[in-house]
Structure 1
Amino acid sequence: MPVYKDESKKKNKWWYEFEAGKKPNGKRNVIRKKGFFTEKEAKAAMVKAESEYYEGTYVDPSKTKFGVYLLDQWLPIKSLAGSTKEMYDSYIRNHVLGSLIAETPLANLTIIMIQDYIQMLKEKKIVIGKKKPKESSLSPNTIKKIYSIINTSLNDAVTMKKLKENPSKKIINKPANQKTKSTVWNQAQIRKFVEETEGKSRYSLAFRFTLMTGLRQAEVLGLRWKDVDFEKSVIRVQQTITHDGKTLKDGAKTDSSVRPVKLDVKTMNTLIKHYNMQQLERKQIETKVAEKKAAGKSFYNGRQYRDHDLVFCTVFGTPCTPRNLSRAYNSLLKEIDVPKITFHELRHTQATLLLTKNVHPKVVSERLGHSSVKITLDTYSHMLPEMQEVAAECLADVL
């Protein structure tokens, strides 16, 4: 068990090395570490490292910088939904790269470093808005997401034996989500919105459909006609669109999100009318293209109909981007006297309405695609007091 002294150095002269079997290519695997102040310190460290090696607990200190590990080694192999992976990539590039922890070798990360980094995020200022840019701080939820990425990646580094322990686990005052109560519509407001927006936008039905099903925006825009069972009045969520609207992907956010959702007769009849209208649009476009071809006239290739089998799409059959759907929604919202809620809060509105109407939480959970009833109850816990009142009234009627 040799320990050596490097006379060329003024301090930290001692180092050790020992042979640890063979590498996959058959060459000797030598473990060495430098930088010890005394011979005794070097020997103690070597005994510990050698013991850990033979016990199978030794972790070779990684020289890979944390930022490189995140983007080049961890994220590419991490099993995540497409939209989630895009979000992680954005957070890493915009908020982790360029920081001290990103430039630090994985093995050298410390609790204090990560603690200081989280504090830096809390104090960080960003500019939002293009037309009227203004300075803002990162939200607690954004900081929590960034911390979760770091923590998960370091847990995986421990699993892969790139690290001995995860320093981010031990920081104090870990970031937490800031719980905000969603605004939802009551029955009168839902009815007012549906009645006053009918036929005013190409996507009016998409908004009514979201209120009826509670689908996520990516699920609404990924829905295909082959996912609609007209005989059983059921849709099956089996495809989504990415946040940028460029890619349609099989599956959904989670395994539990791939699900059937029952629809009412009125919504199904509306879908049938919508399908017929869509087919008429397609025929008109294809007829125009054929006429121009026959006349030898040039036409823009993008104006041909491209069938993606989508229920909600552009006039040319191509996917509608989430951004354009939100624009259409917000434009309609300006014209109607109802509380301004986000597109995602249409989903919350549906769930809240069902719970207050005494629909069993398990049924609501299944419609929403939650992996457990607990998630549903935690998300909509603000509705529990009202549900308690309904329960009390039911008991009063019986007793």
Structure 2
Amino acid sequence: MPRRGENIYKRRDGRWEGRILKPDGKYLYFYSKSYKEVKEKMKKNTKKSTEDKPDKNINQSVTAQMLFQTWLEEYVVQKVKPTTYESYYHCFHKYVLPYFQQPGNEYITKDSIQGFVQMLQEDSSIVQTSKARVLSIFKSALKQILQNSQESYFLVELVKFPKVYYKEVQVFAMNEQRLIEYEALRSKDQRLLGIILCFYTGIRLGELCALKWSDIDMDTGILSVNKTVSRIKTFQEEGNKTRLLVGTPKSRKSFRKIPLPSFLLKMAMESRNRTTSEDNYVLTGKDVPIDPRVYQKLFKRVLQDAGVKERKFHAIRHTFATRALELGVDIKTLSELLGHSSVGITLNIYAHSLMDQKKIAIDKFNDMHLTNMNGALIAVTKSVKVASSLV
């Protein structure tokens, strides 16, 4: 039977079946012709069940803090990449655990969940994208912790996501890009080739730092993105220690191949000739990568020397995307070049740039309108009158 989340399945007879685990270990079944109706029936049942006993905790002997800590340290750490675990750890220790340590919020209940969601939604110091991220992780934790509880479905559904509005991205103007490129090219620091690479490929900082010469095919001019470098905390050791990690990229779509412009391939070839091994990293020329934080500081110095207003390194990626749209690159191709997990993400992030391109396209219709064709219109009118008089 095909499954569609929340313990809801499609049966062979075409109907949908939902199941809720009762306290006695047996299942309560719901049936309907549509997924939506089954989901609504389950929601009403669990809501009534929870409202009948509003002060009943999932487990009165275990606090929310203990449950969340166990989920992090025994479940999440085994399932996700170290970089993802660090973001989960940060999320819970900054937002979730402080709330559930407060008197009255020590246990997972309907009220404590609603209170946390409301608190987060009303905090104006947290941007919408961060709120959505925190609530997504929080909801994942609840699903896992409450999976054998009759109230789980209703309690998890209490977590509602805020509408996310993407900010207009920061990009470098064309004259600023030229100044930055000039500063990078005139420098004797070979590491600055990375800035040029990013302006014309759009790769992320971590992906740039992980780039080896073996990832650039000099014959075909294809750059392969298959690794990323990040600095993460070492949770198993005492103190606030960190280490540099070379791992897989952000998502499956982040594995990608990018054709290099001919001028950039030529620059890469010249730089490649100065190193002894293809296994060396592009930026360091050695068998160890550069720390992304170190490269960010290096980029900051380049901006200062070029007289350009300081921005984060990620602005180069946004600049690449904006230039691509200006040159008429279609959104699907751009999304693949950027390694986004979906075209929708690309559309949301670069909506403003797309609107600019739409305006340019629509302005072309001005040339077709009669108000801009007065001379031609008068000539046509006169010729029609002459033709009519001859009839």
Q: Deviations over 1:340-368 (max 9, x none)?
A: 32111110110011012111111101100
Aligned partner of 1:358 in structure 2 is 328
Gaps of at least 5 residues in structure 1 are 1-47, 125-135, 283-306
* Partner residue, 1:195: 182
Q: 2:145 aligned with 1:153, yes or no?
A: no
| Superposition pairs of residues 69-80 of structure 1, within 5 angstroms | 69-74=67-72, 76-78=74-76, 79-80=79-80
Secondary structure of 1:246's partner? strand
Aligned to 1:43: none
5+ long unaligned stretches in structure 2: 1-21, 31-45, 47-56, 233-242, 370-391
Q: Which has the higher mean CA deviation after the structures are superposed, 110-119 or 225-234? A: 110-119
How big is the shift at 1:328? Answer: 0.6
**What does the per-residue CA deviation read over 1:52-111, in whole Å, with 9 as the maximum and x for residues that have no partner?**
6255899x94454333333333565444343222111122223333432699999x5234
2-structure distance, mates of 1:155, 1:396: 56
Determine helix, strand or coil for the equivalent of 2:257. Answer: strand
User: 8 Å contact 2:105–2:112 — kept in the other structure?
Assistant: no
Structure-2 separation of matches of 1:120 and 1:49: 31
Determine if the alignment matches structure 1 residue 385 to structure 2 residue 382: no
For the pair 1:342 / 2:312, whether they are aligned, the reply is yes
Alpha carbons of structure 1 residues 68 and 223: separation in structure 2 relative to 1, 3 Å: farther
Distance across 1 between alignment mates of 2:150 and 2:305: 57
- RMSD of the TM alignment (CA)? 3.5
1:109 aligns with 2:97: no
Counterpart position of 1:66: 64
Residue 276 (structure 1) shift: 2.3
- Kept in 2: contact 1:356–1:387 (CA 8 A): yes
Render the CA deviation track for 1:178-224: whole Å, top value 9, x for unaligned.
Answer: 53211212333212210122243443111111111111111111112
Which structure 2 residues correspond to residues 220-299 of structure 1 after superposition, within 5 A? 220-244=208-232, 246-249=244-247, 251-279=248-276
Aligned residue for 2:85, secondary structure, equals: helix
Do the aligned partners of residues 71 and 49 (structure 1) sit closer, same or farther apart at CA in structure 2, a change above 3 Å counting? Answer: closer
Partner of 2:280: 309
TM-score, reference length from structure 2: 0.68
Q: Using the alignment, how far apart are the partners of 2:335 and 2:367 within structure 1? A: 28
Structure-1 separation of matches of 2:63 and 2:342? 38
1:206 paired residue number? 194
Secondary structure of the residue aligned to 2:305 is coil
Matched, 1:327 2:273: no
Question: CA–CA distance in 2 between the matches of 1:177 and 1:239?
Answer: 29
Give, as a single letter, the amino acid of the residue that structure 2 aligns with 1:207.
I
| Sequence identity percentage | 23
1:99 match: secondary structure: helix
- Kept after mapping to 2: 8 A contact 1:310/1:319: yes
Aligned-partner SS, 2:132: helix
Off by >6 Å, runs of 4+ in structure 1:
102-106, 396-399
Partner of residue 144, structure 1 = 132
Instruction: Give the distance between the partners of 1:330 and 1:76, measured in 2 at CA.
Output: 40
Instruction: Please say if residues 225 and 311 of structure 1, whose CA atoms lie closer than 8 Å, have aligned partners that are also in contact.
Output: yes
- SS, match of residue 340 in structure 2: coil
Equivalent residue number for residue 288 of structure 2: 318
CA distance in 2 between partners of 1:72 and 1:162 (Å): 21
What SS does the corresponding residue of 1:243 show, helix, strand or coil? strand
Number of residues of Structure 1 aligned to a counterpart in Structure 2: 310
Q: In 2 relative to 1, CA 308–247 (structure 1 residues): closer, same or farther, beyond 3 Å?
A: farther
Q: Deviations over 1:365-395 (max 9, x none)?
A: 1100112222211110011221112323556
SS at match of 1:334: helix
* Cα drift, residue 322 of structure 1: 1.2
Indicate conservation of the 8 Å contact 2:256/2:337, yes or no.
yes
Taking a change above 3 Å as real, the CA distance of residues 122 and 389 of structure 1, as seen in their structure-2 partners, is: closer
Task: Within 5 Å, give how 1:38-187 maps onto structure 2.
Answer: 49-50=23-24, 53=26, 55=28, 61-62=58-59, 63-74=61-72, 76-78=74-76, 79-100=79-100, 108-118=107-117, 120=119, 137-159=125-147, 164-165=152-153, 167=155, 169-170=157-158, 174-177=161-164, 179-187=166-174
Report the CA distance shift for 1:56/1:393 in structure 2 as closer, same or farther (over 3 A): closer
In structure 1, the partner of 2:43 is: none
| Residues 232/75 of structure 1: CA separation in 2 closer, same or farther (3 Å cut) | farther
The whole-number CA distance in structure 1 between the counterparts of 2:301 and 2:103 is: 45
Equivalent in the alignment of 1:11: none
Shift of 1:157: 3.4
